[in-house]
Amino acid sequence: MRWIGVSVAALSFLFAAGAAIADHQGSAPGGGQGTGGTGTIAPRSTIPGYRLIATNRCSRTISMAYRVKDYTGHWVSRGWFHITPGRTRVLYMPTRNRTFYYYGYMQAGSNSWGGAGQTGSRQRWVRNKPFLHSSGNLSGAGARKVSYRKRTVPTTGVYKLNMTCRN
C-alpha cells in the first residue's frame, strides 16, 4: 500500500523511531535532546539506533540524506538534513543495523558526497523536497537517482563525517 509516496514500511520506520525527535542541529538554538513538545515520545536514549555526526567544512550549506534498515527489516531513505557552513549536525539513525548509506550535496555548488565509483555504493531515488522513502521510484518534479556511499557505524555507536570542499 502506498500513500503519497510513503510506504507502510516507511511509516513503520517513522513511528518505531520517534521521527519527531530524530535529529537536532548542534550548537543551534532549540537544538538538543529531549522528549519533544508533548512529552508522549520516549527520550532518544531509549530508542535503539546510531548517530551520524556531520560537520560542514565548506562555505555553503550542505544537504544530506541517509539510508538505513528499519526495525521491520526494510531499507528506508530519509532526507534532507541541511548543515550550514561551519556547523555540525547530529543525525539520529533509528536502526539496529550498523551498515548505513549517505549522500550529500552542496546547495548552489558542484560538490557532492556519495558513492559514485565506490565499492558497495547503491543507486537510490531522492527528490528535491524532504522525503521518507522505502522502495520503488519516487515520482514528481525533482525526482532523481543518486549514488549513496556505504559506511559502517563503529562499536561506539557514532559515525563522524567531516565534509570538506574539493576546490
CA torsion angle 84 117 73 152 (round to 10): -70
pLDDT at position 147: 93
Angstrom distance (rounded) from CA 114 to CA 126: 13
pLDDT tens, residue by residue, 88-131: 999 999 999 999 999 999 977 778 899 888 888 888 889 888 98
Where in the sequence is the domain holding 109, given as residue range(s)? Answer: 2-33+43-163
* Summary mean pLDDT of the chain: 76
Cβ of 118: how many Cβ atoms within 10 Å?
A: 13
Has residue 38 been placed in a domain? no
Has residue 80 been placed in a domain? yes
Contacts 24+ apart (CB under 8 A), 159-162: 159/50, 159/51, 159/52, 159/53, 159/100, 160/53, 160/55, 161/52, 161/53, 161/54, 161/55, 161/102, 161/113, 162/55, 162/57
Structurally, the chain folds into a number of domains equal to 1
What would the grid cell of residue 75 be?
Answer: 531499507
Has residue 62 been placed in a domain? yes
State pTM to two decimals: 0.72
Has residue 128 been placed in a domain? yes
Angstrom distance (rounded) from CA 78 to CA 41: 20
Has residue 135 been placed in a domain? yes
Considering only residues 63 and 37, tell me which one the structure prediction assigns the higher pLDDT. Answer: 63
- State the pLDDT confidence band at 23, using cuts at 50, 70 and 90: very low
On the question of a cis peptide bond just before residue 80, with omega within 30 degrees of 0, the verdict is yes
Has residue 66 been placed in a domain? yes
pLDDT at position 55: 97
pLDDT at position 46: 63
Angstrom distance (rounded) from CA 159 to CA 150: 12
pLDDT at position 166: 66
Angstrom distance (rounded) from CA 130 to CA 83: 14
